[in-house]
Amino acid sequence: MRLLFLGDIVGRSGRNAVIERLPGLRERWSLDCVVINGENSAGGFGINEAICDEILNAGADAVTLGNHSWDQRETLVFIERQPRLLRPVNYPPGTPGRGANLIDTRSGHRVLVINVMGRLYMDPLDDPFAAVDREVEACPLAQVADAIIVDVHAEATSEKEAMGHHLDGRASLVVGTHTHVPTADHRVLQGGTAYMTDAGMCGDYDSVLGMQKDESIRRFLQKTPGPRMEPATGEGTLSGIAVETDDRTGLAVRVAAVRLGPHLEETWPRFWG
Q: What is the pLDDT of residues 6-44, one digit of tens each?
A: 999 999 999 999 999 999 999 999 999 999 999 999 999
Residue 257 has pLDDT above 90, yes or no: yes
pLDDT score of 96 more than 90: yes
Chain mean pLDDT for the chain: 97
pLDDT of amino acid 63: 98
Active-site residue set: 68
Mean pLDDT of 50-66: 98
pLDDT of residue 164: 98
- Please compute the mean of the pLDDT values over residues 216-220 and round it to a whole number: 94
Q: What percent of the chain has pLDDT over 90?
A: 97
254 pLDDT band, cuts 50/70/90, is very high
Is the pLDDT confidence value at 263 over 90? yes
Residues 59-75, mean pLDDT to the nearest whole number: 97
Give the per-residue pLDDT at 87.
Answer: 98
Whether 115 and 91 have beta carbons less than 8 Å apart is answered as: no
- Find the mean pLDDT for residues 76-90: 97
> Is it the case that residue 88 has pLDDT exceeding 90?
yes
Does residue 252 register a pLDDT over 90?
yes
217: pLDDT confidence band, cut at 50, 70 and 90?
A: very high
Q: 273 pLDDT exceeds 90?
A: no
Evaluate if residue 223 carries a pLDDT over 90.
no
In sequence order, the 6+-apart residues with CB closer than 8 A to the CB of 72 are 42, 45, 46, 47, 48
- Report DSSP letters for the chain, one per residue: -EEEEE-EEBHHHHHHHHHHHHHHHHHHTT-SEEEEE-TBTTTTS---HHHHHHHHHHT-SEEE--TTTTSSTTHHHHGGG-TTEE--TTSPTT-SS-SEEEEE-TTS-EEEEEEEE--TTS---S-HHHHHHHHHHHS-BTTTBSEEEEEEE-S-HHHHHHHHHHTTTT-SEEEEESS-S--S--EE-TTS-EEES---EEB-SSSBTTB-HHHHHHHHHH-S--SPP-B--S--BEEEEEEEE-TTT--EEEEEEEEESSSS--B--GGG-
| 252-260 β-sheet, strand order | 85-86, 62-64, 33-37, 2-6, 238-245, 252-260
Q: Are strands 238-245 and 2-6 parallel, antiparallel or unpaired?
A: antiparallel
pLDDT over 90 (residue 143): yes
Give pLDDT, residue 225: 87
pTM, 2 dp: 0.97
User: pLDDT value at position 138?
Assistant: 98
Query: What pLDDT score was predicted for residue 115?
Result: 98
Residue type, 32: D
Q: Would the pLDDT of 165 be above 90?
A: yes
Q: What's the residue count for the chain? A: 273
